[in-house]
Amino acid sequence: MSAAPAALRRLGPLRVADFLARYWQREAICLRQAIAGFACPVSRAQLIEMVRDPDVESRLVSAFSGRWRVQHGPFAASALPSLRRSRWTLLVQGVDLHDPSVAALAARFRFLPAARFDDVMVSYATDGGGVGPHVDQYDVFLLQAQGRRRWRIATEFDPQLVEGMPLRVLANFGPQREWILEPGDLLYLPAGVAHEGVALGASITISIGFRLPAWQEILDAWSERQSRVAPRSTRLVDSTRRPTSSPARLPAAMVESATRELRRSAPSRIDVRRTLLEHLSDPKPSVRFTPRRSSGGLPRFGATARRRGIVLDLRTRMLYAGADLAINGELQHYPAAAGSTLRRLANERNLSAATLRATGAKHAPALLSLLHDWYRFGWIQLGV
């Protein structure tokens, strides 16, 4: 089993530490030849094969005769426009969930918290292809993989959108800066920067996206978590003791009672931590895991894991904070002595055979039992 790729320490001419201090979430920057020895990890043919799968989220955006059109996959190869025809783009979301080489590229960006990572989108475009000037609410690294693409951006812009469009295209985009990216070049854009990319000939661009959850997402996640806990009481206190001459007036005592209950139900720091762990480790709705039967049960799994190691499935999301750990949206109970090993698995996305063999005999059965459950759920794989 090969080790997970090391996180980048440089982005072209900049140390990652300097990039984070000066540009991250502050300012767009173009970094020439950002990743030493970069080679495109996915081909056009692989993308066309991938979008046949109904479990892969994909879109076809075209602007033939000046008319924008968006179609959603899956797509048969015969349903795609001719490769010789200009002004169309194939967008494939979550390619890191399906292709190990793209997942390895995403791992190079683990100098940022995994809780911020969204996905890797790969776009193939013919000459003139693009999706129009628009604004995204996430940070993105736009890595040119094949061909060339012209990017134009604006930090001050009119937010008016073109009416009646299937895409959120800015109506009055006025670019302030422009770059042409060659293979290996990278453009970083903070959230909220208007941008437009247009292919100059056939082009593949890889978008590594990072996002923060919206407040409403956190509120919804907290409400969902609360729904799994029995409430302390089912009703507010009714303090009515005499007839009222103003039946339409909201009783002040009811407001006070509701205020007390809401304050009592405010989440603690641990509640917030667990809510975030569950929410941010929850895979996207399109992700499906296939449970498997474990031939030979736990004993055989344990022996094989100690010989070959284990690795997280590409689709698995695993996060931890303090003593809490969540995998694929579920908080886990685990032996305290296994905590450092499981945190290592979360950080490195694999455990070597040597690491598993080194687990103390006293704690190994409980750890292997938990890993065996995850194996049966399809969340981890045995190493090769």
Output phi, psi for 180, to 5 deg.
-110, 120
* Euclidean distance between CA atoms 28 and 26, whole angstroms: 7
Together in a domain, 255 and 165: no
> DSSP per residue over 292-341, as a string?
---TTHHHHHHHHHHHH-EEE-TT--EEEETTEEEETTEE----GGGHHH
Together in a domain, 124 and 18: yes
User: Largest Cα–Cα distance of the chain, in whole Å?
Assistant: 83
Task: Look at residue 280 and tell me if it is in a domain.
Answer: no
Task: Look at residue 313 and tell me if it is in a domain.
Answer: yes
Together in a domain, 91 and 205: yes
Q: What single-letter DSSP state applies at residue 115?
A: G
Together in a domain, 225 and 331: no
Task: Look at residue 277 and tell me if it is in a domain.
Answer: no
- pTM listed for this prediction: 0.90
Task: Look at residue 288 and tell me if it is in a domain.
Answer: no
Together in a domain, 164 and 310: no
Residue from 103, 122, 110, 134 nearest 47 by CA: 122
Task: Look at residue 225 and tell me if it is in a domain.
Answer: yes
Residue 162: what pLDDT? 94
CB 236 within 8 A of CB 264: no
Together in a domain, 72 and 120: yes
Together in a domain, 197 and 255: no
Residue 38: what pLDDT? 96
CA atoms within 13 A on the CB side of 31: 23
Task: Look at residue 292 and tell me if it is in a domain.
Answer: no
Together in a domain, 21 and 74: yes
* Euclidean distance between CA atoms 335 and 333, whole angstroms: 7
Displacement of CA 317 from its chain's centroid (Å): 9
Residue from 21, 89, 84, 95 nearest 56 by CA: 95
Overall domain count for the chain: 3
Together in a domain, 55 and 196: yes
What tens-digit pLDDT sequence spans the chain (384 residues)?
A: 556 789 999 999 999 999 999 999 999 999 999 999 999 999 999 999 999 999 999 999 999 998 999 999 999 999 999 999 999 999 999 999 999 999 999 999 999 999 999 999 999 999 999 999 999 999 999 999 999 999 999 999 999 999 988 999 999 999 999 999 999 999 999 999 999 999 999 999 999 999 999 999 999 998 888 887 756 556 777 777 888 888 888 888 889 888 888 888 788 999 999 999 999 999 999 899 999 887 778 999 999 999 999 999 999 999 999 999 999 999 999 988 899 999 999 999 999 999 999 886 666 889 999 999 999 999 999 998
- Give the orientation angle of helix 297-308 with respect to helix 364-377, to 10 degrees: 100
Together in a domain, 206 and 220: no
The CATH number linked to 23 is 2.60.120.650
Residue 139 token pair: 């940070």
- Burial class of residue 203 in the structure, from the number of CB atoms within 10 Å of its CB (0-12 exposed, 13-18 middle, 19+ buried): buried
Residue 237: what pLDDT? 75
Domain that holds residue 119: 10-210
Residue 123, strand partner residues: 91, 205
Task: Look at residue 279 and tell me if it is in a domain.
Answer: no
Together in a domain, 193 and 96: yes
Residue 381: what pLDDT? 95
The CATH number linked to 312 is 3.40.366.30
Task: Look at residue 165 and tell me if it is in a domain.
Answer: yes
CA atoms within 13 A on the CB side of 365: 2
Together in a domain, 203 and 258: no
- Characterize 219-255 residue by residue with b for buried, 16 or more Cβ atoms within 10 angstroms of its Cβ, and e for exposed: eebbeebeeeeeeeeeeeeeeeeeeeeeeeeeeeeee
